[in-house]
A and B are shown apart, each in its own frame.
Chain A
Amino acid sequence: MSKNNCAVVGVGQTKYQTTRGDVSMAGLVREAAYRALEDAEMSWSDIDAVVIGKAPDFFEGVMMPEIYLAEALGCAGKPILRVHTAGSVGGSTALVATSLIQAGIHERVLTLGFEKQSESNATWALSLPQPFSVSINAGAGGYFSPIIRQYMIESAAPELIGCMVAFKDRQHALRNPYAHLHQHDLTFDQVVEAPMLWEPIRYSETCPSSDGACAMVLGSESVGDASSKPVAWVQGTSMRSEANTFPGRNEVNPRASRECADDVFSQAGITDRRREIDVVEMYVPFSWYEPMWLESLGFAEIGEGWKMVEEGATHIDGGDLPVNCSGGVLSTNPIGASGMIRFAEAALQVRQMAGEHQVDGVQRSLGHAYGGGAQYFAMWILGDTKP
């Protein structure tokens, strides 16, 4: 099945912080959208459609906010679509937008993910009962901690691998002006000595709660060719999902994750994943998910992802596969935007526009997002050449 080419031609982000008390929800999304349009050298009238994503509506208590935000995003007389796939939503939103270009339906699509978490409390919003669905009832950390312990036992990883990931991502964040956490004086010892929040997850190994929005302008092949700036070409896209509980489920390395990765690397014609990908933006809300996903994505053998962390392979300085040069979810987490940020940062790296956290000579990058009980996956591979 042939697809039309699609390019990322614009990226826009807000500064991420605990509370953006100075703007309305509409003002927040417009800030990111406007910056993406500016980067793409376009105006609102150039856009054919908008695809917007966010996490559950309970976060802000506005039901179906896409309806009220349509005019704020220039959608009068144009289509707007809302996507929701839990924490992976920012990634799957970008992929739905991509499919509109690849299918030849639109030439220029604005896609945006946002969350204004300061309007409620994320742990509350992830613990509440909802009709006919299983409540995890203790926030995301309470859900993921036994899975992380299982990985620690199975891989026999040294105890402080998670702390190494957390410290690395917070160091990376210092190079990203948009990152929420800028902990200039943080030491590794402070990461290790932080209190256990959901044992074995320390407070320092968890993501913050952020307000923010991230937007991209996606264009067709002719739009990409006409851009005066470098663009990032979509070389592969994939989404997968699975139920969050069933007998025999591999929760550490879910089948949906493995199959999503196999699909996206196959589409991009990649056989040696670690060598052929130059930089990864991976969804790591709890530190141990970096080695876990390194294995699931096939960058490391099963049980050996932690060795890449220990060797510094994922550090922006000297690593052969830098992971989360932006600081990642561990440094910035407006949930509905977090997947979009991974995808957008992957695009900035290919476009050589990541500023102080740019990795030299990036030709191909992977953007990755997951959500729910590690049950929804979205991935894309971008390159500096057309597929």
Chain B
Amino acid sequence: MITSKDVEHVAKLARLALTEDEKRLYTDQLSRILEYFAQLNAVNTDGVEPMSHALPVVNVLREDVVETPPGHKTLLATAPDAETVTSSAPDGTEESKSFFRVPKIGD
């Protein structure tokens, strides 16, 4: 059984702001879904190794070869708020850097 307090807690963990209607709806629906899921408890899993993957996957390393990435301008073009700043280095060469802009992080 899941309470509306649980729903509020989980919503906060998931970074979701729910309306009162949504809280009521999800409390009801998630309760019924979790109740249905309880049938899992009937399966004996003593000593069974959890399976995270259907294939025997192992860590993969690649050759250490330099590749050309798309570049910061291309990647930041998809950001909702970003800017590129160009400045001169002491040796006279131009250097450009791109940044995400976000609202206030803390007080």
Are chains A and B native binding partners rather than an unrelated pairing? no
Chain B positions within 8 Å of A, measured between CB atoms, are none
